[in-house]
Chains A and B, each alone.
Chain A
Amino acid sequence: MARITKKWRLVLLLLFFLPQVIGLRVGGQLLSPILYEPGKVIINEYTVSDTVRPIEVTLGGQLLEYINVTELKDNRFTLIIQFPDKLIETGSYQFMLAVREKAEGDTAGLNSLLSVTKVFGVDVYSHGKDIAASLTAPNGNVNSTMTFSLEVQSRGYTAIDAINGEITVYDPQRIEVGKVLTKAIPLPALDSRTLTAVFNTTGLLAGDNYLAEAVVFYDGSHKTTNATFNIGAKDIELKGYTRELTQGFSKFNAKVENRWGKRINNIYARLFLNGTELLQTPSISLDAWQGGNLSGIVEVNLPPNDYQGLLSLSFDESYKEYPVQISVILLPEQTMPTSETQNGTSLFLIPLLSAIGSFILLALFLLAASRLLKRRKRKRDEF
Chain B
Amino acid sequence: MNDISNKTIVILLFVAMGITLIGTIATISRLGYIERSYGVVTGALPGSQNGTGTSTLTVIAFAAISNDFNTIQFGSGYTNNSGGGPCVMATNNKAGTSTSGMIFSNVTTCVSFNNSNDKGFLLENTGNVNISVNYTCSGSCIATTFIGGATSDGFPFFELAISPKTVANHSTPEVGSNDTAMSCGNRFNNGSSGGNGGNFERNNSNINQSYFNVSVGGQFLCGSAAEYPLESVDTQDAFVINLNVSLPRYVVPGGAKTATFTFNAFASG
Contacts and interface: CB of A to CB of B under 8 A. Distances in A.
A347 B26 CA distance: 10
Top-6 shortest CB links A-B = A354-B23, A23-B66, A357-B19, A118-B269, A25-B64, A108-B256
Interface in A313-359: 344, 347, 350-358
B269 A351 contact: no
A72 interface: no
Given A121-B268, A361-B16, 9 more contacts: A22-B67, A30-B61, A111-B261, A113-B260, A114-B66, A354-B26, A360-B15, A360-B16, A367-B4
Contact of A30 (B64, B225, B259, B268): B268
B24 interface: yes
B257 interface: yes
B71 A112 contact: yes
Contact of B19 (A24, A98, A360): A360
Interface string A1-25: 0000100010010001000111111
A107 B17 CA distance: 35
A32 B265 CA distance: 17
Interface of B: 4, 6, 9-10, 12-27, 30, 40, 58-68, 70-74, 121, 124, 126-127, 129, 138, 175, 177, 225-226, 243, 256-269
A23 B58 CA distance: 24
Q: How large is the interface on A (under 10, 10 to 19, 20 to 34, 35 or more residues)?
A: 35 or more
Contact of B70 (A22, A31, A356): A22
A97 B269 contact: yes
A228 interface: no
Interface of A: 5, 9, 12, 16, 20-32, 50, 96-98, 100-101, 103, 106-121, 344, 347, 350-358, 360-361, 364-365, 367-368, 371
B260 A112 contact: yes
B202 to A, nearest CB: 24
B243 A368 contact: no
Given A23-B65, A364-B9, A114 B263 contact: yes
A267 B164 CA distance: 48
B223 to A, nearest CB: 11
B20 to A, nearest CB: 4
Contact of A354 (B24, B67, B258): B24
Contact of B68 (A22, A350, A361): A22
Contacts of A97: 269
Contacts of A356: 19
A118 B267 CA distance: 5
Contact of A119 (B4, B263, B269): B269
Contacts of A107: 71, 73, 258
A350 B268 contact: no
B260 A25 contact: no
Contacts of B64: 23-26, 50, 116
A325 to B, nearest CB: 38
Contacts of B264: 98, 100, 114-117
Contacts of B129: 30
A28 B58 CA distance: 10
A100 to B, nearest CB: 7
Contacts of B226: 119
Contacts of A121: 268
Nearest to A362: B16
B268 A32 contact: yes
A111 B260 contact: yes
Nearest to A103: B260
A49 to B, nearest CB: 8
Given A100-B262, A115-B265, A120-B269, A26 B225 contact: no
B73 A109 contact: yes
Contact of A358 (B20, B177, B257): B20
A350 B265 contact: no
B90 to A, nearest CB: 12
Contact of B23 (A24, A29, A353): A353
Given A29-B61, A117-B265, A367 B9 contact: yes
B16 A364 contact: yes
A112 B175 contact: no
A259 to B, nearest CB: 36
A258 to B, nearest CB: 34
B14 A12 contact: yes
A112 B67 contact: yes
Nearest to A356: B19
A111 B70 contact: yes
A16 B177 CA distance: 22
A115 B262 contact: yes
B27 A354 contact: yes
Nearest to A367: B9
B268 A351 contact: no
A31 B269 contact: yes
A198 B25 CA distance: 61
B9 A368 contact: yes
20 contacts: A22-B70, A29-B61, A30-B129, A30-B268, A32-B269, A107-B73, A107-B258, A109-B257, A109-B258, A112-B121, A114-B65, A114-B264, A117-B265, A119-B267, A351-B23, A353-B23, A354-B26, A357-B23, A360-B16, A361-B16
